[in-house]
Structure 1
Amino acid sequence: MTTYALDLQAGSLLAVWASGVGHHATTVCQLGPVVPELAAQMCEASTRLSTTLWDTYQRPAPHDADDTDERELLERERGDGFAGVLAAITAPNLPDEHGLLMVSYDPMLEYAHTVGRALHAIADPEITAAVTADVRAEIDAVARAGLGDLSGRAVQAVALDRLDPSPLQVAAADRLLHEQPLGCDELYTTIDPAAACVAATHWLVAAAQVTAEAADVEPAAVFSVADDIEAVSVEVPSYMVDVVVDRSATPREVVIGLLAEADAVRHGRVPDPTGLLQRVDAAREQIRRIDVGHREQALSALLERLTPLDPQRPAHDLLEHLLNGVRACLLVYREEAIDASAAPPDRDDDEGDDDEFDRMIAAATAAFTAAVRDRAARDRDRLIR
């Protein structure tokens, strides 16, 4: 969302938004002799308005609506709401002669009316025009982000957790991962994080399958093997690979499911009450193998989280787990490649041995990258389903 702030030194209104790494800012207008309390009220209402606008991006019209007509109706209502925002700013509901005020049940429209009432009190046509133009730019950014275009001001979508990843953004993330299967900064700064997670899941599964063949283990077991070499993420990558490989789920399905669970937890709900009871039973069974004096602490640790993801930033957290999982696959693959060498160099002998070891690492990394690209291309249909 965009946060609106007062530059007290310059006497101006600023719009500030996240850009993946750092923040961008623009000056909306100069405020002149505006009463500070009115300016502060306008900032607060504008920030809340932006929050509700971007909420339509994070939670678009659901695909599981009863029919196509219902989805189209929901989308049309949101489009009408956007148009109503600008109308509310320029012609807000004002108290009547008795002090009564008509309040909208739609939070987005009500925050727009609140902005409009602050502008009405400020009574400066130039400020009203500037704020209205800025809100129009914000609405345009939300609309473009919904279509998969994160250029310009729409880049702030990379800081949000959308529950319905854009196919265009998934394709863009897939192209980045084809160039750099181990991940890159652009996945965090130019791509909607949920869409990046869908593509990264596809590439993680490809990496796990390639590594499993080299190490002669099950794909989901690769991460436990890697954890014996170096501390890596195990639970989340293992789960993602297991669901896609053994249960035939698509990357999109498993990502949306995990993010929806984390979103429910963030809003104070238990995503799967029945599953929670099963989890408690499984945890109790697991701690029977632990010393009696430590069972209570172990049980608390097993049940302290309702989701394996950070509910405050689930998509970004998931993406980090997925990319860590790909690197874990590389660890195992390289270890297998070195072990298969007839005479692995002794790195403690001399500089020549160090150079030879580095060449072996580079060769194994190149072979891993090529094999993962081939596997991801061969199974590409699961990404586009």
Structure 2
Amino acid sequence: MTRYSVDPDRRELIAAWGTGEGNLATRIAALPADVAVSASLGLSSALTQLSDAAWRAYTHPASAVGSRVPDTGGRVRDREPDPVREVARAIAAPDPAGRSAVLASSGRLLESARLVGRALHDLADPRLTEAVLAETATELAAVESAELGDLTGRAQQAVLLSREDASPAQVAAADHLLAQDPFGPAALFCAVEPTAAAVAAAHWLAAAVEVTAEATGFDPVRVMQEADAIGPLPHETRTVILGLIETGVSPYDAVTGLVRHAMQITEGLLPIPVALRDQVDDPEDEDDDEEETAADYTVEDDPGLTDLALRLTPLDPRRPARSLLEVLVDGIRACRLLHAEFTGLDRDSAAPGADRAEQERSREHFARLVRAAAARHRSRLL
């Protein structure tokens, strides 16, 4: 989201947002000279809250399964068919006293807009109000562009966000990048929305595993385990994705389901708690007719219980889509190394002493095989 701040020396309102390559900032407007800086902080805070609400409507689209949890803000698009106009109206007529805010509010976006409007009312500067209205229109237009799969301009900050859904245009863009470089070009991480990029990467990882399995004779799970032995990387997440794809689940459904699960955990929700039961059962008591659960244990009975930790998601809940993308791309690279270990053509070129030209020939040979496999299964991409 865009973060707004006050420069106390220049007395300016500033907006800053992240991209895949760094942060950008711009001056929004000069602040009234006769108003204390502390009085302007309420405006910057309200604008930041408005941006957060707008981008939440992007990360939790109403079209995504599980995004209709009450009061999460994921239904803003359903309620506000023309958010730019409605936000401008709420800013212009915010009910300064705040008496009707709760009754009139139809979502976090409009309530945030009313907070902006009340802050502007207190500052009473027409030029500042005009600048803020233009700024909110720019911010909402960026969200709309991201929803359509266009991540140019300010919409580029979407590459830092995890989304429950994935734009078909962004999946296609990621697929194109991986077709050019199956090992994950830099643009995959800084120019494409990460959930969509992970969908495409899951498709290409499945192709890489197929090629490697043919060369090694291993099943997909063994491929990942052996690849990890070459370069230690956690294979569990990749194995989950590959297992779903093997059973006929599309890369889109496999990735968005895993990302959505992690996003719910980030918000304090625990989807399907019964799924944790196996993690707290005692594996040594499998023959015991009486099922044991965490409720059967106490710290007095087992002091080691204080060290018990349950992993609720295989992803990093702070950045689920990006962490999943990294794991999938690492898996493709690991498959190349394993393929080289078992292929006479590649073995010498993969050795530590091989020159750059030999390594490039090895990479390109594996890339050609993966491209062919990905093309054969293109129908599963979405």
Same fold (TM over 0.5): yes
**Per-residue deviation, 1:107:** 2.1
CA distance in 2, matches of 1:9, 1:138: 25
1:372 to 355, 361, 370: 370
Evaluate the alpha carbon distance shift between residue 336 and residue 314 of structure 1 in structure 2; reply closer, same or farther with a 3 A threshold.
Answer: same
Q: Tell me what 1:221 maps to.
A: 222
CA distance in 1, matches of 2:235, 2:191: 27
1:334 to 331, 340, 349: 340
Greater Cα shift, 147-156 or 236-245: 236-245
Q: Tell me what 1:21 maps to.
A: 21
**Per-residue deviation, 1:279:** 3.6
**Per-residue deviation, 1:120:** 1.1
Contact 2:349–2:362 (CA<8 Å) still a contact in 1?
A: no
1:175 aligns with 2:173: no
1:84 to 73, 83, 86: 86
CA distance in 1, matches of 2:18, 2:6: 17
CA distance in 1, matches of 2:181, 2:304: 42
Superposed, 1:228-243 pairs within 5 Å as 228-243=229-244
Q: Tell me what 1:70 maps to.
A: none
Superposed, 1:358-369 pairs within 5 Å as 360-369=358-367
TM-score (norm 2): 0.86
SS of equivalent residue, structure 1 residue 143 = helix
1:285 to 277, 283, 297: 283
Q: Tell me what 1:318 maps to.
A: 324
CA distance in 2, matches of 1:27, 1:286: 64
CA distance in 2, matches of 1:218, 1:211: 9
CA distance in 1, matches of 2:304, 2:369: 44
Superposed, 1:1-385 pairs within 5 Å as 1-33=1-33, 34-63=35-64, 75-95=77-97, 100=99, 102-103=101-102, 104-105=104-105, 106-245=107-246, 247-281=247-281, 284-285=282-283, 303-338=309-344, 354=353, 360-384=358-382
**Per-residue deviation, 1:267:** 1.1
Evaluate the alpha carbon distance shift between residue 347 and residue 249 of structure 1 in structure 2; reply closer, same or farther with a 3 A threshold.
Answer: closer
CA distance in 2, matches of 1:269, 1:280: 19
Aligned-partner residue type, residue 218 of structure 2: V
CA distance in 1, matches of 2:195, 2:323: 10
Evaluate the alpha carbon distance shift between residue 39 and residue 287 of structure 1 in structure 2; reply closer, same or farther with a 3 A threshold.
Answer: farther
Aligned-partner residue type, residue 239 of structure 1: V
Contact 1:144–1:150 (CA<8 Å) still a contact in 2?
A: yes
**Per-residue deviation, 1:287:** 10
SS of equivalent residue, structure 2 residue 260 = helix
Structure having the larger proportion of residues in helix: 1
CA distance in 1, matches of 2:234, 2:307: 21
Unmatched tracts of structure 1, length 5 or more: 66-72, 289-294, 349-353
**Per-residue deviation, 1:241:** 1.3
Contact 2:183–2:332 (CA<8 Å) still a contact in 1?
A: yes
Evaluate the alpha carbon distance shift between residue 91 and residue 210 of structure 1 in structure 2; reply closer, same or farther with a 3 A threshold.
Answer: same
Aligned-partner residue type, residue 94 of structure 1: P
**Per-residue deviation, 1:100:** 4.4
Residues 5-61 of structure 1, C-alpha deviations (whole Å, 9 max, x = no match): 111222211111111121111110111413212210000010001100111101111
CA distance in 2, matches of 1:76, 1:260: 19
Evaluate the alpha carbon distance shift between residue 231 and residue 241 of structure 1 in structure 2; reply closer, same or farther with a 3 A threshold.
Answer: same
| Count, aligned residues | 356
Evaluate the alpha carbon distance shift between residue 35 and residue 52 of structure 1 in structure 2; reply closer, same or farther with a 3 A threshold.
Answer: same
CA distance in 1, matches of 2:59, 2:350: 53
CA distance in 1, matches of 2:225, 2:108: 47
Unmatched tracts of structure 2, length 5 or more: 67-74, 287-301
**Per-residue deviation, 1:75:** 3.9
